Chain A
Amino acid sequence: MQSGRSQSMVGPIPERVQVFQPADSDTRGKHMIRAELKRLEQETRFLEEELEQIERMEMASTACKELLSNVETTPDPLLPITSGPLNLSWDQWFEGPQESRGCRCWIL
């Protein structure tokens, strides 16, 4: 009988290993699948909650309207046209030496 296994077997021990190893990995595999299944069931619950919330949700235009209003009423020193009030400290970067003649030491 040609069997690679029977040629390499040296008594009953390899057979025992063959009996236990599959069961061990079987248990490990079960744990992993169970954990993953639990995660999926949790994800299902979260998604169902989100679907319920979305029924009561506002359209995007409501958020856009609020955003526009917030942007336009906030003074912004980096804009060519901005709402006030102006803050004199915005121009602090152009008072005194313009280009860096300050510390140029190289840290070694």
Chain B
Amino acid sequence: MPAVSKGDGMRGLAVFISDIRNCKSKEAEIKRINKELANIRSKFKGDKALDGYSKKKYVCKLLFIFLLGHDIDFGHMEAVNLLSSNKYTEKQIGYLFISVLVNSNSELIRLINNAIKNDLASRNPTFMCLALHCIANVGSREMGEAFAADIPRILVAGDSMDSVKQSAALCLLRLYKASPDLVPMGEWTARVVHLLNDQHMGVVTAAVSLITCLCKKNPDDFKTCVSLAVSRLSRIVSSASTDLQDYTYYFVPAPWLSVKLLRLLQCYPPPEDAAVKGRLVECLETVLNKAQEPPKSKKVQHSNAKNAILFETISLIIHYDSEPNLLVRACNQLGQFLQHRETNLRYLALESMCTLASSEFSHEAVKTHIDTVINALKTERDVSVRQRAADLLYAMCDRSNAKQIVSEMLRYLETADYAIREEIVLKVAILAEKYAVDYSWYVDTILNLIRIAGDYVSEEVWYRVLQIVTNRDDVQGYAAKTVFEALQAPACHENMVKVGGYILGEFGNLIAGDPRSSPPVQFSLLHSKFHLCSVATRALLLSTYIKFINLFPETKATIQGVLRAGSQLRNADVELQQRAVEYLTLSSVASTDVLATVLEEMPPFPERESSILAKLKRKKGPGAGSALDDGRRDPSSSDINGGMEPTPSTVSTPSPSADLLGLRAAPPPAAPPAPAGAGNLLVDVFSDGPAAPASLGPTAEEAFLSELEPPAPESPMALLADPAPAADPGPEDVGTPIPEADELLNKFVCKNNGVLFENQLLQIGVKSEFRQNLGRMYLFYGNKTSVQFQSFSPSVVHPGDLQTQLAVQTKRVAAQVDGGAQVQQVLNIECLRDFVTPPLLSVRFRYGGAPQSLTLKLPVTINKFFQPTEMAAQDFFQRWKQLSLPQQEAQKIFKANHPMDAEVTKAKLLGFGSALLDNVDPNPENFVGAGIIQTKALQVGCLLRLEPNAQAQMYRLTLRTSKEPVSRHLCELLAQQF
């Protein structure tokens, strides 16, 4: 049925096109075009009125010239004139010219809109479609303003032709995308949904697209579309391969419509109605079954169309993530494709499996294909397929296969395409950290990364290894030894020098005992690299050198010699010069004690989400990150593998200096300055609060030290927004705390950091610091799923009259939390007077459309505002006697719930906040403590005594304070800790 014969239509146009094609050079072409332009211009300007045919022909030539890439500055008016022609062919060229050469000339827009208006009202379906296509192609705001109101009417009018409805639906879609505000929802929306039932499959095809777009912003208005879509899909899927006639494509019934319906369903959670859900599951099963049937045709079109539906079905199954049986079947089907001879299918199977790997139901099934995937990484010819294989390995990685996957990815890195090296480096670094069982493996892996692909190792990666080594004393010696060995290589990457320089500067002393790595050897090894390095690396090495002077006094003379050299002291680079001068002076004038204080070992870094992960997400662009990120954070692995909460050992260590934030134990005035960068967190926020001890203010040393610290890419301070007053919903809004709330709260009485709450969806981590009557708390909300949380709103509620006792300011957080992502909320807390009831934390959000709410007790108890007080035995006893009124004392005798270990008990009492006083109680087994509770209104002095009785496995706890409720409350809180 040939519809067009060659040369048909406008002869003049064909001649002109031939001429252009015969031009031998660009110059000849331009010459020919200019001649034609002159000709057309004279015709348009001529006295003789042109007939429609000529006008059409010339406008079409102009269009052709424009499409060749030449500017056209006339002819618009003639094109607009064609719009009002009664002949289709003339009108069509007019509309085409307008659509391709959009012109914002306001005079013309008015004329064009007028012509469109006439055609829309013409009741001639051909003309109506031309006008609708023009609006859809141009999609400008002016057209939206002129026609947004008319098009819904045309779309749902009973007498509109099918083809007009198709065009109207998509035209409306375009206007909605361009300017949603111009398309108000109305009574037509319900009728649009019913187009899913339309007899004409083309109308349904167009309508599904429109509904899919509209329902994203107005899910409730369109939710009836779910059951209609399911029944439509069911009819298609269960039809025989020839039932749908015109809409059967290579024996596959309506493949595109099926795909669109399946995508529409992905805008909603699984249907609630059991019958609809049953019907849908049946459809999904049918699609999976059909995949196993022998093909009805050998043509690739048949298998492509069939598999288009299959992959979309699998996407929906993954979106629901609730049918283990279907997920595993999907995985098996994809497993077959992994070895298919069609590259397309292998690629798509790898891609689709990536998302399956993040479902807990199918993760294990995906893992069984590891060997095939590794093989793909090694043998696929198409780099994009290899990349998908690398993505999948990353997604399927867990504790059980991490070593294998990391080593395969490292091996692949040696030959990987340059385009994807950085991404592979990031992935290896993340996996190595996340699944490290022992950190020596982690250190080895990162150093291997630098060795193999040093150029692609970004700052984030090597900062991170330094943070981890700094925070974990079990790996520091190993790290020092390993970098020392790595630096022996004659040619080592500059990144290796950076890592080596930093680690040896901090931990070189751990390997200094071995004569092969004695201090002078370490120094000369580092210094042998110095001159070949960039300014930044040399600056870092200078800092290492001054640390060496502190660690190894025997190197002082050599290093001072280096610093003193003209090449340093008079270095043209101001940074290097300044460091050399300052370090030289510091090493000469400061006493050993001062030097040791200034150059003290770096304090542990606050644990936070790995910045590498953020970088990978950025690299993959929005949206893709969440699929890559392993949303199912393995709870058992979180302690060893960073994540958001500090390790238990850091939290509960008795030594105050081990506290992550270095704040819980206020140092006595003579103590060394608090670690840089940590001490002043509170001071600058509560600038009108009580003056901080001088030692906490920024000092010269601190600024000095902070340069040595690898920059923290995401300081918590950066997240500070305008403080929002704490949401204070009325009592009817407050949920009852969950049953475990008290138990969870008790865990935090003696510690400030850790995981407050965790379930399948959400993890809430806490990090807090308190000083005097002020506190700051960071809450970390981690979305453990792969689906975005919506309307996420955590708020703090003050039950009863707590409001007069405790002020909590919260910062607002984003209302959406992406799958696998974490958001942080900052709370500023001020204790106004003593209190008993903790504030409540109410967290509400929508997960997959279903509202979730959760109420917890916020771990803020009165003892957080303890200030430890040291005193001598006689002072203690004197005060003890002063507080001898019966109501000032609270006492409890209770059975031990935990093994009675003196060290643990000490740690808990220190964590509780009081000072521990030695040599006060005549019985050395007993513990005596003292402190002051700081509130804005008053201070409450507290004395406590804990007497363990090992034989009876009992304790007696006595509290004496100047306020009766405080004594009682502290006694209750503390008694639950042993």
Q: Do A and B bind each other?
A: no
B residues near A, CB below 8 A?
A: none
* A residues neighboring B (CB under 8 Å): none
